[in-house]
Amino acid sequence: MATSGGGSSYRNGTPRGSLKVDRPLSVNSNPKTSVKSKPFSSSGPRRSSTGSIVSSTGAANDDAGVPGRVRVAVRLRPRSAEEMMADADFADCVELQPELKRLRLRRNNWDSDTYEFDEVLTEFASQKRVYEVVAKPVVESVLDGYNGTIMAYGQTGTGKTYTLGCLGEEDTAARGIMVRAMEDILADVSLETDSVCVSYLQLYMESIQDLLDPSNDNISIVEDPKTGDVSLPGANIVEIRNQRSFVELLRLGEAHRFAANTKLNAESSRSHAILMVHVERSVKGKHSALSGENGNNAHIKTLKPAIIRKGKLVVVDLAGSERIDKSGSEGHTLEEAKSINLSLSALGKCINALAENSVHVPIRDSKLTRLLRDSFGGTARTSLVITIGPSPRHRGETASTIMFGQRAMKVENMLKLKEEFDYKGLSRRLDVQLDKLIAEHERQQKSFEDEIKRITADAKNRISEVERSYADALEKDRLKYQKDYMESIKKLEEQLVNNQQKHGIEKVSVGHKDGGSALTSNIESPMISTIKEVSELKKLLQKESLLRKAAEEEVNSLKSQLAQWKMSETSENSKISKLREMLEDEARQKEKLEGEIAILHSQLLQISFEADETRRRLDRGGFGKVPGDLDSLLSQVKHQQQESGNGEKASIAKLFEQVGLQKILSLLESEDADLQIHAVKVVANLAAEETNQELIMDQRGISLLSMTAANAEDPQTLRMVAGAIANLCGNDKLQMKLRGEGGIKALLGMVRCRNPDVLAQVARGIANFAKCESRASTQGTKIGRSLLIEDGALPWIVQNANNEASPIRRHIELALCHLAQHEANAKDMISGGALWELVRISRDCSREDIRTLAHRTLTSSSAFLSEMRRLRIDY
């Protein structure tokens, strides 16, 4: 920084600004005066003809911002009365060259330094001109949505407050920058869509106090971490709607400032006064730099948030720049003196750092620099006015003020438009629109409902009207017909009377011939009696027609009842047929399940055999060894079982081979009912094969079957046992043995179960046995009466000879025929009533062969023949 004779000795930290260095103008030849020059019209936003800010690149809203150097004007205060006197003999320490925008600071009588400023304002410069030069461009920027700062710096008494804060109440031409700025702002904004709010603060000894409410002290600064914007949420913000209220507010702030400082025992010149004006303007979408659409679609347009531009104007009346005596002679302690000066010296340091393009700018060192971070090196358009006095006595302070101004001129800001979408506003607007639509909808719905009600009522009225007129018409018709009826009756009566009269006249004429004494009575009496008769007949007719009506009604009701019954009958029938179908299905299902159960049983049996086998092998010590053939057999059996019912039989035969009959028979004694049934089934199946029959007998099969027969209750088991025994009964060789082991008794014992299937098997066994016996007798191997008769079978045979179940009946018929073939049985058969049965069979049996057999048997037996003769049975 050159303060003297340094030529171009200071560094230029702002490469964009063109720096002109003139040769120092000096009264002597020694070129010691330096001229620092910066053109006032440096780069930065300019006000375009349409009033919007356009940058050199033409972009209205460039995110990077547009460069805008801090502009500095110097203002010289006229000599005060005191100075007129005191400095009368001395020349001013400064000489202004406003046309060159230069200021010469006298060093001594022969030497001076020359400085160039953006604007040089002489002691004659009017307040209006000062406003227009220093403040107006900043105010216009604020109105366009930029931040702006106007600041006055200088020694106490040089006119900072006069320049910024003069209210101009006595002399309207003396109105300062604050008043004029608000005048311009209020003239430009529209109070319907825009808002202007003001805070007024004082910063003294690093404490911020609200000048609009002095009790609101020590207000803290809040910084937005994203944008870096600073705000004072604790400060009062007053909305300004007219100039008068603003001036009032300024006056109030001034009064509070004075009172507060008196109370603190501080001079007003030691505090900084800060006026903040927040201007929020709503921008129509299509004019906005943020809007990319032309808004053709009205619907979209309404949904588009408006754009809000938020400019903030900060006007700072700084504390006096003179140095405070460090000795504290002004009544301050050293600490106080430091604190009083802290913000101002921090501002100086920051401006130095910015002017020199230092990496570190100590913004956080003081409240003032934090508050003004946007004003120097930030995004605001900043204008500084430095105020100086003419007195050579204060030359040192004047020089230092000038140097401050010179350095501030080098600070480059990047102006940025502060605009954002007004989502809140949009939301409000949409809410209003929504409410309107809701109300409209409600109205429409109501009118719709009313219309429906009206139509309904109308329809009801019409219906009742029609009903009424219909009833009227009916009544009219009825009356008309009644009248017609009565008239025709009357006519008929008249006719009748006429007829009778004619008749009477004829009679009279006849009576005349007879001699006319009873003439009148003769005419009258037949007429009266005829009328009476007619009325009686009429009555009868009426009665009859009533009766007929009643009868007809009854017939109708009976008919409808009949129809109903028919209908219900058909539905019942369909139900029944459905149920029948279901029943058949169930039966089929049952059969299938039974088949499955049988297969499962045989599997179970097989498994138990297998287990037994394994156990046996284990007992023999053959642990872990399964004979290969058994294994394959089992799988074969399983396979066969899956194939068909024949598989079951085959598997039984195989099982039989494999496990031995003994084992199967032993299972007849099993505790497990299922196992027992199954064993019975197997035995029954085996017994069907002649080859197995002897084997079964050898293994005490009959006694085991007999035992089962005696113990079993269920018809299925009994049927199978009876079937097995019946099969054995058909074997000629086993007759004696079977009988000997109680086979016949067992068979007969099973008739206690009245199940026809069981009885059929019993009958079959008896027939088989009788057939074999008969054969043996014929061959001569059997003598004496039948073992069946011996074992008491005859009574049951006779009893069931005419059983209604044909399988039973057939077997018994055959058995009787067989028994009857041998004379040895004849006596018992006759005494037991079997003869009668045979006679019946020979006459009535539906099967011809049996009938013939019975007949032949009867006629070939002498015993039967003689008995029949004795009983006079025709043969």
- Name the one range near ligand ADP by CB under 6 A: 6-14, 154-162, 248-256, 839-847: 154-162
Q: Which is nearer to ligand ADP, 24 or 159 (CB)?
A: 159
Q: Which is nearer to ligand ADP, 78 or 740 (CB)?
A: 78
Could you give the dihedral angle defined by the CA atoms of residues 610, 611, 616 and 620, in that order, rounded to the nearest 10 degrees?
100
Which of 26, 55, 156, 209 touches ligand ADP (CB under 6 A)? 156
Question: Among residue numbers 435 through 474, which ones bind ligand ADP (CB under 6 A)?
Answer: none
Which of 45, 159, 378, 742 touches ligand ADP (CB under 6 A)? 159
Q: Does 382 bind ligand ADP (CB under 6 A)?
A: no
Q: How far is the CB of 269 from Mg ion (least distance, A)?
A: 6
Q: Does 161 bind ligand ADP (CB under 6 A)?
A: yes
13: nearest Cα among 529, 515, 408: 408
Q: How many positions of this chain bind ligand ADP (CB under 6 A)?
A: 13
E strand or H helix that includes residue 148 = strand 148-154
Q: Which is nearer to ligand ADP, 8 or 269 (CB)?
A: 269
Q: Does 708 bind Mg ion (CB under 5 A)?
A: no
CB atoms within 10 A of CB 788: 27
Q: How far is the CB of 325 from Mg ion (least distance, A)?
A: 19
**Cβ distance 665 to 706 under 8 Å?**
no
**Per-position b or e across 384-410, b if 16+ CB within 10 A of its CB:** bbbbbbbbbebbebbbbbbbbbbbbbb
Tokens of residue 173, six digits: 């031409």
Q: Which is nearer to ligand ADP, 167 or 598 (CB)?
A: 167
Q: Which is nearer to Mg ion, 114 or 163 (CB)?
A: 163
Q: Does 157 bind ligand ADP (CB under 6 A)?
A: yes
Distance CA 865, CA 875 (A): 8
Q: Does 154 bind ligand ADP (CB under 6 A)?
A: yes
Strands 35-37, 111-116: pairing is parallel
Q: Which is nearer to ligand ADP, 156 or 727 (CB)?
A: 156
Q: How far is the CB of 160 from Mg ion (least distance, A)?
A: 5
E strand or H helix that includes residue 383 = strand 381-388
Question: Among residue numbers 44 through 83, which ones bind ligand ADP (CB under 6 A)?
Answer: 77-78
**Helix 823-831 to helix 862-870 angle, to the nearest 10 degrees?**
30
| Secondary structure E strands in 205-362 | 207-210, 222-223, 230-231, 238-239, 272-283, 306-317
User: Residue 77's binding partner, choosing from Mg ion, ligand ADP, none, with beta-carbon cut-off 5 to 8 A by kind?
Assistant: ligand ADP
Q: How many positions of this chain bind Mg ion (CB under 5 A)?
A: 2
Sign of CA dihedral 265, 267, 268, 272: negative
Could you give the dihedral angle defined by the CA atoms of residues 651, 657, 660 and 663, in that order, rounded to the nearest 10 degrees?
0
Which of 26, 33, 387, 708 touches ligand ADP (CB under 6 A)? 387
- Name the one range near ligand ADP by CB under 6 A: 32-40, 158-166, 409-417, 456-464: 158-166
Q: Does 366 bind Mg ion (CB under 5 A)?
A: no
**Cβ distance 369 to 350 under 8 Å?**
yes
Question: Among residue numbers 314 through 333, which ones bind ligand ADP (CB under 6 A)?
Answer: 320
- Name the one range near ligand ADP by CB under 6 A: 155-163, 179-187, 345-353, 808-816: 155-163
Q: Which is nearer to ligand ADP, 145 or 157 (CB)?
A: 157
741: nearest Cα among 732, 728, 751: 728
CB atoms within 10 A of CB 94: 24
Tokens of residue 741, six digits: 């082991």
**Cβ distance 667 to 600 under 8 Å?**
no
Q: Strand, coil or helix: what is 316?
A: strand
- Name the one range near ligand ADP by CB under 6 A: 159-167, 408-416, 590-598, 681-689: 159-167
Radius of gyration of the chain (CA): 70
Q: Does 390 bind ligand ADP (CB under 6 A)?
A: no
Q: Does 161 bind Mg ion (CB under 5 A)?
A: yes
Q: How far is the CB of 338 from Mg ion (least distance, A)?
A: 22
- Name the one range near ligand ADP by CB under 6 A: 112-120, 160-168, 488-496, 686-694: 160-168
Q: Does 398 bind Mg ion (CB under 5 A)?
A: no
| 230-269 footprint of ligand ADP as x/- string (CB under 6 A) | ---------------------------------------x
Q: How far is the CB of 180 from ligand ADP (least distance, A)?
A: 15
Return the residue nearest ligand ADP (CB atom): 159
Q: Is 628 exposed, middle or buried (0-12, 13-18, 19+ CB in 10 A)?
A: exposed
Distance CA 308, CA 353 (A): 34
Distance CA 307, CA 795 (A): 122
| Secondary structure E strands in 324-407 | 381-388
Distance CA 178, CA 269 (A): 18
Q: What is the contact surface with ligand ADP in residues (CB under 6 A)?
A: 77-78, 154, 156-162, 269, 320, 387
